[in-house]
Structure 1
Amino acid sequence: MNPIVIIGTGMSGYTVAREFRRLNKDAPLVLITADQGGAYSKPMLSNAFAQNKTAAQLVTQSAEQMAAQLNAEIKSSTTVTGIDTQAKVIDTTSGKIEYDKLVLAVGAQPIRLDLKGDAAQDVLSVNNIDHYAKLRERIPADKTMRIAIIGAGLIGCEFADDLSGAGHAITLIDPNTRPLAALAAPALSEGLQQALQARNVQFRFGTVAESVSRKDQALQVQLADGTVVDADIVLSAVGLRPDLHLAKLANLQTQRGIVVDTQGKTSAPDVFALGDCAEYTFADGSHHTLPYIMPIMTAGRAIARSLNGEPTEIVIQPSPVLIKTPSYPLALIAPLPHSVANGTWSVEIVDNRTVCRFYDADGVLTGFGASPHDNPIRQTLLGELGKKAETV
């Protein structure tokens, strides 16, 4: 009997494996990963500095421990070089593997900016445990570093809060006029900016980085507005792009991500995808990438059942994104970008809590945000979602 094969041992891959093993203890299971295969929480990467966590401390279980726990074979340090979905054969640097069913959990890759300058190659991104280890190596334990972060979105703001909390001097660079511009209401962006400024985070809004050059032992970031940011480290946090490399090798249907149907199936028989690499199909026929934890957990449970012979729909319920900025903790569901121009934000401040609700052109609540937040306020806002203001 050929095994079920999962490519990727991040949160998506291990979630499917764990959920499948709850249903089926004995079917052969193989996981393939290009890295060491240790289990860790990727969201922890952007809030581990203030806790003084090393990369090794973030790994909760080794590949060997995960293999024993899952009764699975884990092929670490193994690269997939091809997938034949007709013959159901995977080519890898460790040899060929035949599969019964295949799951792609390959995640996303950092968007690389086209920067000029003799130090452009020294710009770091943190998307996995090895990237985090490299960043840790660049930051001495006994020295305050000047760190320029390109991008004031979710990851950039989380790193700014974390690194400033660890005592480092942070400059955030972004073409927008406020942090979290694509996700949060202006009132919440303002609150976050004030909280970060209280930690001495500096902002360079309305401009972009054009080049990174070396000067003596430091770096200089040349901005489009003609100014320069001096830094010891430059970190790029401008977003992620679904990893489509293997999907294209396998001739799978792709758009922004690997297109999957409502059960997580790709355009090839017995091949599934989930997580940051997937583009989910919703009941109304729309497609969305969802690089967040709750969709991973939901898709992982459904796909595990389908792998076990019980075809199951992935039903993704609205769930707030929790922004890990302790100086200004945020929970939000962003309205769809195309609706923002014709909708309005309402702002309510009660007992030092800011709650923002977004109503679309029809007066329907389609987005919200709150800081600080707790489960009762999150559940209240979720209950209002999809309702008109006058019926709330």
Structure 2
Amino acid sequence: MSAAVAPPVVIVGTGLAGYNLAREFRKLDGDTPLLLISADDGRFYSKPMLSTGFGKHKDADGLSMAEPGAMAEQLKAEIYTHTRITGIDPVHKRLWIGEEALAYRDLVLAWGAEPIRVPVAGDAQDAILSINDLEDYARFRAAAAGKKRVLLLGAGLIGCEFANDLSLGGYQVELVAPCEQVMPGLLHPAAAAAVQAGLESLGARFHLGPVLASLERAGTGLQGRLSDGTPIACDLVLSAVGLRPRTELAAAAGLAVNRGVVVDRELRSSHAHIYALGDCAEVDGLNLQYVMPLMACARALAQTLAGKPTAVRYGPMPVTVKTPVCPLVVSPPPRGLQGEWTVEGSGSDIKALCHDAAGSLLGYALTGTAVQEKLALNKQLPALLA
């Protein structure tokens, strides 16, 4: 009589969060069955590179680092591709793929976030594309072939990165966003002005304040109209207005959700044996959609899954923004801490520092040559989760 096969650790998602957790776990445990479930083709790639592909003349295959078969072999894991789970049963420790039930020892939600869709009038809303994974990038590159004019929705971090990348790729970019500056809420106005000026030097044009009200098909192109009445003719529309953590399946299973799937410092959800990390997770009140916190979570959760419960710690988490026309590193002050900003420099070289009343550094925004000071400043920053 053969022994029963132990249920696997199941990771839902094969982005940086899922694959890096699997790697860290395998360093500690080489035997426990491991299953990764991917809604896409399961290729390994670095998501931040999606906003560098046009400038580097790389298609989706050029950004891919490994096929799912190679990843499965490397991780001693099974990988299901183009597979969506349809439900979670925390009481019986199983999940559903259509009508099929699958038992798990521990379940990790690493399914990321999805693009926010903006309502637009007109007959061409389906022509608004977004880039959130490698398959999206392939679709956008195919649509962009032979085109020149891109209307870009959103002037946040990702919008500015795409504006830089598409401009380097030879496209005429017009950005539309309902804000007074680029990267509002993230950047000091002086640093924002430096980044905007850099992008404008590449030919990008900004429409800050209005939103895209309508989009119509016009011959072989598109005709947009902004809420202030400005018409914009374009060939492509790329939406980069932000991402919303995927929480619907977690909520339907009874897990606590807020801005993301609510987890504690050990990445545990409100139900036993279910964890979350990456863009979909709200860790001790923080939903940080960047690589550094993701990697810290992967290392800590791997320890927990291997039998050594480990709380994640976030040290300083500066963000390097990929706008090479105006290099930018930013570390916003931690939540709940107030300070005064001082600004040095001019033009593209801005050093904006935030200090508390005692003179301790809380955060910074560095552009141009000032980014060279980041390592020294990082040593003075407070931890986000000590």
TM-score (norm 1): 0.92
Residues 195, 348 of structure 2: 8 Å contact kept: no
Contact 2:339/2:362 (8 A) holds in 1: no
1:384 corresponds to: 380
Tell me the residue number matched to 2:214: 211
Amino acid at match of 1:308: A
Structure 1 residue aligned with 2:233: 230
**RMSD of aligned residue pairs (Cα, Å):** 2.0
What amino acid maps onto 2:87 in structure 1? G
Cα distance change of structure 1 residues 303 and 375 upon mapping to structure 2, 3 Å threshold: farther
Distance 1:150 1:361, change over 3 A: farther
2:302 to 279, 301, 304: 304
The structural deviation recorded for 1:100 is 0.5
Counterparts of 1:318-329 in structure 2, within 5 Å, are 318-329=316-327
Residue identity in the other structure for 2:245: P
Amino acid aligned to 2:41: Q
* Deviations, residues 305-336 of structure 1 (Å, cap 9, x unaligned): 10000000000111210000110110001236
Give me the whole-angstrom Cα distance separating, in 2, the residues matched to 1:337 and 1:223: 34
Range 323-332 or range 217-226, more displaced:
217-226
Instruction: Determine if contact 2:194/2:348 at 8 Å carries over to the other structure.
Output: no
Q: Secondary structure at the match of 1:40?
A: coil
C-alpha distance in 2 between matches for 1:365 and 1:212? 46
Counterpart among 341, 344, 357 of residue 340 in structure 2? 344
Change (3 A) 1:94 1:6: farther
Q: 1:62 to 1:380 in 2, by over 3 A?
A: same
Partners of 1:212 and 1:97 in 2: how far apart?
44
Aligned to 2:3: none
Of 94, 107, 113 in structure 2, the residue corresponding to residue 108 of structure 1 is 113
Partner of 1:300, secondary structure, is helix
- Residue of structure 2 in register with 1:97 after alignment: 102
Q: 1:353 offset after TM fit, Å?
A: 3.6
Q: Matches of 2:99 and 2:312 in 1, distance apart?
A: 33
C-alpha separation between the residues in 2 aligned to 1:226 and 1:351? 32
Tell me which amino acid in the other structure corresponds to 1:86.
V
Matches within 5 A, 1:216-295: 216-281=219-284, 287-295=285-293
User: What is the identity, as a one-letter code, of the residue corresponding to 1:372?
Assistant: G
Any runs of at least 4 consecutive aligned residues in structure 1 with deviations exceeding 6 A, and if so which?
none
Q: Which amino acid aligns with 1:290?
A: L
Matched letter for residue 374 of structure 2: R
Tell me which of 358, 366, 383 is aligned to 2:354.
358
Question: Which amino acid is 1:270 matched to?
Answer: H
Write the deviation string for residues 357-390 of structure 1: whole angstroms up to 9, x where unpaired: 1235776532211123688621222233359xxx
Shift, 1:184, TM fit: 1.1
Structure-1 residue corresponding to 2:368? 372
CA distance in structure 1 between the aligned counterparts of 2:230 and 2:347, rounded to whole angstroms: 40
Q: Is the 8 A contact 1:330 1:373 kept in 2?
A: no
Q: Which moved more, 1:318-327 or 1:344-353?
A: 344-353
**SS in structure 2 of the partner of residue 60 of structure 1:** coil
Q: Indicate the larger mover: 349-358 or 237-246.
A: 349-358
- Confirm or deny: 8 A CA contact 1:244 1:258 kept in the other structure: yes
User: Counterparts of 2:109 and 2:223 in 1: how far apart (Å)?
Assistant: 40
- The total of aligned residue pairs comes to 378
Deviations for 1:116-165, whole angstroms, at most 9, x for unmatched residues? 1110121011101111011000112xx45100101100000000000001
Match of 1:284 in 2: none
Distance change in 2, residues 1:351/1:235 (3 Å): closer
> One-letter code of the match for 2:179?
N
Deviations 1:200-227 (A, max 9, x none): 1111111111111111111122111111
- Please state whether the residue corresponding to 2:366 is helix, strand or coil: strand
Q: Contact 2:349–2:370 at 8 Å: present in 1 too? A: no
Identity of aligned residues (%): 42
Runs of 5+ consecutive residues of structure 2 not aligned to the other structure: 1-5
Partner amino acid, structure 2, of 1:186: P
Q: What is the distance in 1 between the residues matched to 2:248 and 2:139?
A: 24
Residue identity matched to 1:301: R
Q: What is aligned with 1:184? A: 187
CA distance in 1 between counterparts of 2:165 and 2:343 reads: 27
Distance (whole Å) between structure 2 residues aligned to residue 362 and residue 175 of structure 1: 36
Structure 1 gap ranges (5+): 282-286, 388-392
Q: What do residues 163-201 of structure 1 show as CA deviations (whole Å, max 9, x unaligned)?
A: 001111000111112212221111111111111111111
